[in-house]
Structure 1
Amino acid sequence: MGRLFATYDLETPTTLEQAAKVIAGEQSSGTFLKLPGETDRLRERSGARVEQITATSTSRTPSLPCRISAESYTRGEITLSWPLDNMGTSLPNVLATVAGNLFELADVSALRLTDISFPKEFAMSYPGPTYGRLGTLALAGVKDRPMIGTIVKPSVGLSPVETASLVEKLVEGGIDFIKDDELQANGPHCPFEERLHEVMKVINSHADRTGKKVMYAFNITDELDTMRRNADLLQRAGGTCAMVSLFPLGLTGLTAIRRHVDLPLHCHRNGWGIYSRSPDIGISFRVWQKFWRLAGADHLHVNGIANKFTEADETVIENARSLGNPLSGEHGYQAMPVFSSGQTAVQMEETCQAVGHTDFIYCAGGGIMGHPGGVAGGVASLIQAAEAAVGGIPAHVFAKDHKELSQALELFGRKNGAGDGK
């Protein structure tokens, strides 16, 4: 079997060599002292290896609270590897290995998991996305442009009938994609089964009349037995997308529902700030998206350009591009980026240019519902912005002959990178 590689940004009050050795031992065959059972043969077979160490900087103070005091703290990049015989091709146990007790070691004053490399054996154990980018576009009937989407707002508080009433306005306005908010799953005020029934009446009726079936991502996040039941109801009702919240569900839950349901899985990373906000601790998106893609995520949120959160535009685009990179020795496993948070027609041109393709979902809330022309005007403005970007025409030029885009650029035109409306 192959080996698993993980790269970390490490700061230590000791030395990089000593800290890397401690981490390697803690996360494989060693402990705080040598035990009789840890023979040279066992360590050679099962111990983690320190593959590379590169020093980058020093500081006078620790980046995180640290029990060991030192005159200076050394920072650098380390790469470790493990034999697959330790954990097998099990994503939960890989996570326990590469992101377990190492973050709280006394030899560590900052530690961030920045990359991971899965050997080809994982491709034989995990299904990956069933639909991904191209399958989603085909299912939604969208070609040569991004899918235009939105989020049901208010996030919670609407009844099933009220939700369906909003959906009717959206589908009549020409939307491609609608999603439940992550806060709306199966609460007593809007039970999943009733919401499914009311919403699918609208979507199926619209499809019968127009031939266009809008993709609605119903949030099925719940206990696993309930999720399976609701996924079955969703498929029987003719639904075309299931939504899950990644961190509450976990890798095991994501894999289980991927193997159970034959629908695109729209995966929301709510709680992402826990891992991303600090540069001194956590796990990068580059790492998480590899776990999620292997486990079966078809769509993954990446925020958006000029978003309302803390991620820089460069990080957003890097994360979106990463979803198309080869994974586990294969050229498949491509997931679809989902741009959201403060998106309007204003950012469409820049987004298309930066990503380098149009195989993504572009979700706008205020950018659609706050448009002077209403929902239909908002959707039209985004489609027109996408047409301009695909055609290589600057949005402000294209807008001269397209009223809805002109209105959107005037209303949402941003200064200093500030968009409007999730």
Structure 2
Amino acid sequence: MTASMSVTDRIEADYVIETAIDPQEAAETMAGEQSSGTFLPIPGETEELKARSAARVEHLEVFQTVDTPSLPGAAVGETYQRAHVTLSWPLGNIGPSLPNLMATVSGNLFELKPFSGLRVMDIRMPQAFADIYPGPQFGIEGTRRLTGVSKGPLIGTIIKPSVGFSPQETADRVAILAQAGIDFIKDDELQTDGPYCPFEERVTAVMAVINAHAEKTGKKVMYAFNLTGEVDEMRARHDFVRELGGTCVMASVNSVGLGGMIALGRHSQLPIHAHRNGWGYLSRHPMLGWSHVAWSKFWRLAGADHLHVNGLRNKFCEPDDSVIQSAQSLLTPLFNDKPCLTMPVFSSGQSAIQPDETYRRMQTTDLIYAAGGGIVGHPDGIEAGVRSLREAWDAAEQGIPAVDHAKEHPALARALDAYAQ
């Protein structure tokens, strides 16, 4: 790999920290731990070396003091100060390498005793990373082209039950959904290549249905086949989907890892639907782990065309403000000449109830809106479930309250009654 790289290029990362010691000292400990320093001076760490390779504390601002530590195992104090910290590193330490960037900005930081809380909030990378990594090859524009959905959200769903269907039973469900007018279907993250529903048999059965529907109607449903596995397995599964006319593959990014996702991104000729299952263990505590803003940049550069963000009033623990911030971050350019925009996927407990607020807060329909029970649980059936979501989004885009729009749209009216909370 080659990339244009200046010796003045620097990587920056923003954090929130909580510490019982002086925050400036704590920040300098972070910088030393993640570059040329250690817990005591050592031979060879010359001033010249530090000038070349040491991380710098670029910003520090204390914003709160609390009486109890957020996490166990930290140095004990009478109070604990929280601060915003920005560190920077010379690009020459690691070069434009995403796996080593992840090690650099996080590494051992979460384990350091001075910290009773530490969270990575954002990352800024030099242009050299854009020169090396593919980023989304399809993104919003390519996904719209392949699905034929030129405006509005892609209305999607998940095959449920998550596991238990045979390949033919899966295909039978896809036939019903395609007939109902769905745009996008995905495997559940638990369904990959088990003996009861082997990957190639599932792809063969499903694509027979999708291709037949496309020949009859001109509309080709996008199906994200879950190919999560070892790198060679994922490449082979991708090729099989492509050969049968499929238009999307899916990977569980926390399971395949950054190296696996990069390898898949370089190989893929189809959109990659990136599933973030496991996100909770990286983010659930507000003083530990990662913000989605920082974490998602790795997967965007690695090649994620779609990425999950939960949804408003979801069945999980994520607050609505976090969901919106995550989705908006995916639509914020990473570089001036390489935006790397990834299509947000709203899911988890979604129905005809949430489009109004989702659109009001996002002000865009460049997203996939995936509902399980919000479609198949509609009192009048799956086709009415799909129609109710389109009607809810039409109302949202036109600025019409859903309850008013429902007066002339029975599918929406029945959905609002069925899913009212």
TM range (shorter): over 0.9
- Alignment correspondent of 2:371: 364
Is contact 1:159-1:189 (8 Å) kept?
yes
- Structure 2 residue runs of 5 or longer lacking an equivalent are 1-5
Is contact 1:11-1:109 (8 Å) kept?
yes
- Alignment correspondent of 1:420: none
1:280 and 2:293 matched: no
Matches within 5 A, 1:331-342: 332-342=339-349
RMSD: 1.0
- Alignment correspondent of 1:291: 298
Aligned equivalents of 1:167 and 1:263: distance in 2? Answer: 20
Moved more, 300-309 or 63-72: 63-72
Residue 29 (structure 1) shift: 0.4
- Alignment correspondent of 1:51: 58
Moved more, 174-183 or 312-321: 312-321
Residue 329 (structure 1) shift: 3.7
1:204 and 2:222 matched: no
One of 72, 90, 93 as aligned partner of 1:83:
90
One of 69, 73, 86 as aligned partner of 1:66:
73
- Alignment correspondent of 2:144: 137
One of 330, 348, 355 as aligned partner of 2:362:
355
Residue 326 (structure 1) shift: 1.4
- Alignment correspondent of 2:415: 408
- Alignment correspondent of 1:157: 164
- Normalised to the residue count of structure 1, the TM-score between the two structures is 0.96
1:188 and 2:195 matched: yes
Residue 331 (structure 1) shift: 5.1
- Normalised to the residue count of structure 2, the TM-score between the two structures is 0.97
Matches within 5 A, 1:382-421: 382-414=389-421
**Superposition misfits of 4+ residues, deviation over 4 angstroms:** none
Is contact 2:189-2:275 (8 Å) kept?
yes
1:374 and 2:381 matched: yes
Aligned equivalents of 2:292 and 2:316: distance in 1? Answer: 15
Matches within 5 A, 1:145-294: 145-294=152-301
Residue 276 (structure 1) shift: 1.4
Aligned equivalents of 1:63 and 1:75: distance in 2? Answer: 10
Is contact 1:63-1:109 (8 Å) kept?
yes
Aligned equivalents of 1:19 and 1:328: distance in 2? Answer: 31
Is contact 1:173-1:376 (8 Å) kept?
yes
Aligned equivalents of 2:174 and 2:121: distance in 1? Answer: 40
Residue 403 (structure 1) shift: 1.1
Aligned equivalents of 1:353 and 1:129: distance in 2? Answer: 26
Matches within 5 A, 1:299-318: 299-318=306-325
Q: Per-residue CA shift, 1:132-174, capped at 9, x if unaligned?
A: 1121112100122100000000000111011111111110111
Aligned equivalents of 2:49 and 2:130: distance in 1? Answer: 28
